[in-house]
A = this chain, B = another copy of it.
Amino acid sequence: MKTFEHVDCSRCDKRQSSIFCNTHGEPLEDLSDSKTCSVYKKGQVIFHEGGHPFGVYCVNKGKIKLSIIGDEGKEQIVRLARDGDVLGYRSMLVNERYNATATVLEDSQVCFIPREIFMKTLRSDSSLSFEMMKLLSNQLREAEVKLTHLAQKPVRERLAETLLFLKETYGYEPDSTQIAVQLTREEIANLVGTATETAIRLLSELNKEGVIELSGKKISIKDVRELSRVANLND
């Protein structure tokens, strides 16, 4: 974990779409001055389930998975983070240990804002607490919808939905319909909530049907419309 050149928050173009979008002036400078910026290599863990939170992490550039380990040691991926996303705020707010592990999916640049500074900003800048509430609200809604689908929809539909979700989250590779993230089949299964073999089987099924195209870990969506139909998204 190497430190990379310090990025001035006021010049960070990801800020506009982040919870700091309305934070300006002194509070923002405070944050910027006290943070540290690091590079994480693929596979590295930013924080561990059960660990103590000492601050929040702000993704400058990167792709990160947040996962919970279930009773039998099986991973469940509960969220994916991209540029501009903030991680670890929840545990900090309620002053509890992390209940998820953040693992880097590809080399990423992440800024760390120490606890005290973040909490101070939260107290002084009411727009930040507002953005926090909105963020939490949205994530809660997403989690509840996901819950419903997990309980009610068959694996094939959930897999299609997951692929569309990956596309929405990370977009396509330049000039292609390949989803811009590399996940193992196991990770895809842990996102969908199924067994690895089942995920593999259904992926190659969609491949045969011409809806998607597989080349190694790269997945391209050949027919978004049909994939949406498979996902059966009416709500």
Name A residues whose Cβ lies closer than 8 Å to a Cβ of B.
68-72, 74, 76, 78-79, 90-91, 93-94, 99-100, 123, 126, 129-130, 132-134, 136-141, 143-153, 193-194, 232-235
Contact = CB atoms under 8 A, between A and B. Distances in A.
Nearest to A190: B151
Contacts of A132: 133
Contacts of A79: 144
27 contacts: A68-B144, A70-B148, A70-B149, A70-B151, A70-B152, A71-B149, A71-B233, A72-B152, A74-B152, A76-B148, A76-B152, A78-B144, A90-B140, A94-B134, A94-B137, A94-B141, A100-B144, A126-B129, A129-B133, A132-B133, A140-B143, A143-B143, A146-B147, A147-B193, A150-B193, A151-B193, A151-B194
Count of identical protomers in the assembly: 2
Contacts of A233: 71
Contact of A144 (B99, B123, B193, B232): B99
A25 B189 CA distance: 52
Contacts of A91: 137
A147 B72 contact: no
List 6 tightest A-B contacts by C-beta distance, closest first: A151-B193, A136-B136, A143-B143, A76-B148, A70-B152, A90-B137
